[in-house]
Structure formats: C-alpha cells, structure tokens
Amino acid sequence: MIDGRAPYTYCPHCRTELKEQLVFGRTRRVCSECGFVHFLDPKVGAGVLAERDGKVVLVRRAVVPALGSWCLPSGFVEYDEGPEQAAIREFLEETGLQVQLTGLLDVRQYRNDSRGPGIVILYRGQVIGGEPHPGDDASEVGLFGPDKLPEDIAFATHRRALVLWQREVRRDD
C-alpha cells in the first residue's frame, strides 16, 4: 500500500506483476517489462459559483457524499474535456441553467473524501439562460443572497468559495 491507497498489482498494459521501486523521488509501482509507472493521481473536479440577479446558484445533493447538503454545481472532469468544459457541463446537468464562465475563483486540494484526494477548480460565472430544475445528482436548485446562504454547505472548498463571494459582494455594496 502506497500513501494509504491500494495501487495496481499488475500492469494494465502487459499484465506483468508490478514491483515497488524508487522512481521520480517516490516509491511507486513499476512494470519491469514495459516500463509502466503507476502514479497515484488525484481526481480533478470543476464547478461554478454563478450568479443570477445577485444571488448564487446552489444545488442540494441527491447522492453520497453529503447527501441532502447544499453545494456549488460541480463534478469530476472527464478524460476528454478540459476543466472549463466540465464546469459548464456539470452546471447545466445539475441545474438546467446555461452558464458563461467569467473567471477563475479558486483552486484547492482536498483529502477528506472517501473516494480519494482531489483538486477542485472553481470558476465564477453568470447564468445566461434556461430555467432552474434539478437534474443529474441534485434534488433541488436554489438561489441564495449573500446573507441567506444555507448552513449545511457540503464541502470545505465550496464553503471557502462562498465566503470569498460574500466578501466580494459586501465590498461592492
């Protein structure tokens, strides 16, 4: 076991048993036949803190982890898309709303997810169309002003992003 996670036992390319060895400054599983190195990479997620009429769009989670809590529309980046595409796709899937990204809000790592560690890239955005309706892994879509946010925000990275948004909105008032 490396870094608390079970790595591959056999090479996914040639099926040779992998051996632990020091590679690139860390102990990793390596294939002696084809040279494959098993890197324990974090998952990459992307999400959007988007506003509509001065309110932020949040979704209530319909799945574990954090079932029933509120969060920013977000999800994992797929192998064939960039983080911006993933953020836009997840926003539409979870809210029924179209969003235009307006900038980068925050990039954070997390380690307290049962699915493994990850990096989340959060963008700022503006809703540009659609009608709110929950979809995908959301049970509800809500719009909240800076002083009316729900207390049960699912993830520390999302709570931090909402605090940054609140500070920005209050500074502009």
Which positions are annotated as active-site residues?
Answer: 140
Q: What is the sign, positive or negative, of the torsion defined by CA atoms of 114, 118, 124, 130?
A: negative
**Residues 32-46, buried b or exposed e (16+ Cβ, 10 A)?**
eeeebebebeeeebb
Asked, as a colleague might, if the bond just before 65 is cis with ω within 30 of 0, I would say yes
Residue with tokens 């909240």: 144
Q: What is the sign, positive or negative, of the torsion defined by CA atoms of 95, 97, 98, 99?
A: negative
CA-based radius of gyration for the chain: 19
